[in-house]
Amino acid sequence: MNNALYQKVRALPAQQLYLLTCEKAIDLSVALTERYQLNAEQIGALSDLTARIYLKELRLADLYTEIKRLFPSDEAMSKRLTCDLAGFKLLAIESWLAEDVSNYIRSLGADPSDYHFETEELKRLAAAELSADELAKAEPVFEPLPVADDPEDGSESDDLSESSDAEIDPAELAMQFRDIIDKDLMELLNTNDNLFVAEFNWRLIKLLTEDESLHNDLINKLINSPKRLSDETIVLEGRQVEATVSNWIKSYIATKGSSMIDTITLSDFLVNATNARFLNEVEKRRLSRLLKFYSNIKYFPDSLVGEDPLAWELLPLSNDPDDIITPSTQSNRNQSPLDANQPDDKLAELKSLTRKYAEGSLERMVIDEEIKRLS
């Protein structure tokens, strides 16, 4: 996506922007990529097509013609891809486009009701992400206040709680944050306790404004963390490496550069980056949270969005608690409904995909590693 198109997408109304860039939209893009075995150039072209329709720069009636031009194939395959793109990505914005997407799908020989479940899920999850972000900006994060004992219980009314911030040594508190990143980073990335996350963010922001050494320490701890985000390996600098926090951050920087992360760039990475293609929904959510957290720390305080300090965050709030990993579900990871193939079917698809990439290419190395894992 070129910079001009990127800037236009960022200016979309919030509802349409979230429908285009939310994590469910990313999952649907991954499903299209796998279903039609698209290469990196084709993935980018499909992403641009979708964005142009959202921006109303491309009419729905011209979509099939563009698909045929950009993805040379037989007529049946071109129609299927057009229908799937319209069904997965455009039915949700039918009223925004003021075009009859359902009838357009029928005209190409498909049934729009086949996409009903995914369309409703896209709208539901996009709305949930938007609401969570708006709530995070609107709800103040209150500092715990000293609480006086009830005078009726016979105690002194000025006997304050021992948990008052005034009694916490800032140096000791900063050390606790260093220990969390060292020892409990995965628990932090997996938590769906937004009250804890809000308190965590508030205290950390307060410390970072006062302690430059803590800022540098946390950046170094994250970029060198050996904690693993998943059991698979990824490709970094042409070799297979463990999928650690450190290696994922380096992979992102190698792919997208070291600028401050924004929603659209991160979404593009999660959809198009070779290393991210085989992540399931939960792993992508965890990786997204990690990269945002790292970027927010690195670019603090410029990463704090808006003028209201009560809406600032470093670790993103959880916006879909049902999909966050807990210790009881970590070994049985959830899959997207579109990724429900049996292992044998998935293995066959991957083996077929190897024919598209040259031996020694990054794409081929990742696919071969996934085949080895499934075998």
pLDDT at residue 162, as a whole number? 37
Q: How confident is the model at residue 295 (pLDDT cuts 50, 70, 90)?
A: very high
- HSE of 202, CA atoms in CB hemisphere, 13 A: 18
144 has a pLDDT exceeding 50: no
Respond yes or no on whether the N-terminal peptide bond of residue 316 is cis (omega within 30° of 0).
Answer: no
**How far is residue 104 from each of residues 87, 112, 286, measured CA to CA in Å?**
10, 9, 37
**How far is residue 183 from each of residues 40, 176, 222, 324, 345, measured CA to CA in Å?**
37, 10, 11, 19, 38
Lowest mean pLDDT among 181-195, 232-246, 264-278, 334-348: 334-348
pLDDT at residue 366, as a whole number? 58
How far apart, in Å, do the first and last CA atoms of the chain sit? Answer: 36
Strands 239-244 and 228-236: antiparallel
CA distance 196 to 175: 18
250 closest CA partner among 215, 303, 242: 242
CA distance 90 to 165: 51
The chain-wide mean pLDDT, for the chain, equals 77
CA distance 325 to 333: 8
pLDDT at residue 1, as a whole number? 64
Residues in the chain: 375
Q: How confident is the model at residue 138 (pLDDT cuts 50, 70, 90)?
A: low
Cα angle vertex 195, ends 205, 211, to 5°? 15
CA distance 215 to 208: 6
pLDDT at residue 147, as a whole number? 35
pTM of the model: 0.50
pLDDT at residue 115, as a whole number? 93
278 closest CA partner among 169, 366, 186, 364: 366
102 has a pLDDT exceeding 60: yes
Convert 261-299 to b/e letters by CB count within 10 Å (16 or more is b): bebbbbbbbbbbbbbbbbbebbbbbbbbbbbbbbbbbbe
Long-range contacts of 247-256 (CB under 8 A, 24+ apart): 248/275, 248/287, 248/290, 248/291, 249/222, 249/223, 249/290, 249/291, 249/294, 250/223, 251/275, 252/291
- Name the amino acid, one letter, at 116: H
pLDDT at residue 91, as a whole number? 94
336 has a pLDDT exceeding 50: no
Is the Cβ–Cβ distance between 181 and 222 less than 8 Å? yes
82 closest CA partner among 132, 133, 134, 35: 35
Task: Name the percent of the chain lying above pLDDT 70.
Answer: 74
Q: Which residue has the higher pLDDT, 169 or 273?
A: 273
3-state DSSP call for residue 32? Answer: helix
264 has a pLDDT exceeding 70: yes
- HSE of 26, CA atoms in CB hemisphere, 13 A: 26
Unique residue bearing structure tokens 């290419």: 361
